[in-house]
Structure 1
C-alpha cells in the first residue's frame, strides 16, 4: 500500500510493512487530477486537482494524521497489475482507514443538507459507482463542501443519506453486509454510474467480498462475470430475481394481460 505524507506531499510505500494509521479521501474525479507521477516528478502544483489534495492533507494534519490515501496519486495507474490489486483491495483500504473525508465539490457547507432541494442531496457524489463503497466501508465519514468546510458526519446526516441512496439504515448500525441479500446490495447501486462500463462491476467487488481479475475492454461481460462469481460463492438465490428484473427492464413485453401495467424496475448502473 502506498500512502501520501500529509506534511510534504511525498508518497511512501508500505509493502510488507505495518500500515500506520491513515485518513482516506472519497471524491469524484475532475480534470487534471494529481497522479503518482506528478507527485514523484514535482508537477503536482501545475494540476487543477492540486487544491483538492492539499485541502485533504490540511484536514488530515489538523486531525493528527501523518498519512492519507488518495486514489489519484497513491496508485500507479500505468501498471495494470497494480491497478488490479488496488481495485480488489480498495474496500478493505476504506474499511481500515481511521476516517474518510468525502469531498463534495458541488456543495457549499453553509446550506442545510436536510433541506428538500439541498445541493447535498443532489450532489454528483451520490450518483457515482465508486462512492458507494466509499460511503459504506469506512467506520467514520465526514462530508466537506467545496471550500473544505465541514458539512457534517455520516451519522448525523444518516436520515438524508438513506433517503438519497435507499440503503437500508440497519446496515449503518451493524456494518454487516452479510445480513443483506445480493438483490438488496445490487439495489443500492441502482442509478449509480461509472465512466467505463467494466467499472459497473469492479466497483461492487468489495460489497460482495469478491476478488476477480480486471479485464478492461471486456465491456458488459465484466458484470456477467461478477454475477457468476456471486452465484459460485453464495447460496443466495435472490440474485436470480435481480437478474430477471434486468432482463425485463431492458426487454419490455410487447403486450400485457388486460388490466396489467408494466413498470420497468431500476437497473444497476
Structure 2
C-alpha cells in the first residue's frame, strides 16, 4: 500500500476575510497592546507628566501676562488655555504611536503576526485603538487637574462631552500619521523624533496658547486654517470658554464642522497610506 503524503502549504495562512474578521482581529490586537500598557505603567505615567507640567507652567508662569479679550486676569487665561492643552495632549500621542509601531517592526513582532490568519490592516487598527484608549485616560486625568487649578466649563454636559469627543477624534486621526511615520523609519528613536518635529509648528502656529489677532496677516491665515486651531476653537466654543475669536476664516466660523471634516480627511488619507506601507513592508 502506498502512503499518500500531503505537501504542506507555504506562506502565511489566509483569514476568512471580510469586515467581521477585520473587526475581531483589530480588537484582539488592541487588547494585546492594552495589556502591555498595564504591564509597563511608567509609559502611562510619563505620558501624564508632560501635559500636567504644561498646565501648571502656562497657568501660573504666563497666566498673568497674557491678555485675552482685553483682560489680563489669570483665571481668564486659564480657561482660554485648557482647550489648547487638551488638543496638544491628544496630538502628541502621535509620537508614542509611531514609536510603538516602529518598535514592533524592529523586534520582528510584525513577522509573527504575518504567520497568523488575520486581516492585514488589523495590526495597525488595533494599535491605534489601544492608543486612543490611553489618550482618553490621559485626557480624563488632565481634566481633573484642570479643574483643580481653576478651569471651568459654562455649557451643558452634552456640549462638554461633544468637545472631548472631537478632541479624541482628532487624536485618533493624528495617530494614523504616527503609524505612517513608524512604518517609514528604521528605529523607535527615529520614530519619536520624526513624530515630534512636525507637531511643534502645528501646535504653536495656532490659537492654542495665544490669540491669533496679533499675528502677522500671513501667519494668522495659516493659523486659522490649521486643523489644530479648528479643534481648539471648537472645544472653546463647546466648553463656553473665552477666546472664540472674531475671524472671517471658515474654520473659525464653523469650528465643529471644520474639526469633523479635518479629522475624517486625515483618517481617510493617512490610514490608506499607512496600510499600504504596512503591506509593502511585510510583503
TM-score range, shorter chain: under 0.3
Q: Which has the higher strand share?
A: 1
**Who wins on radius of gyration, i.e. which is larger?**
2
Report 1 or 2 for greater relative contact order, CA contacts < 8 Å, sequence distance ≥ 6.
2
Q: From the two aligned structures, give the one with the greater helix fraction.
A: 2
Normalised to the residue count of structure 2, the TM-score between the two structures is: 0.26
| Normalised TM-score (structure 1) | 0.27
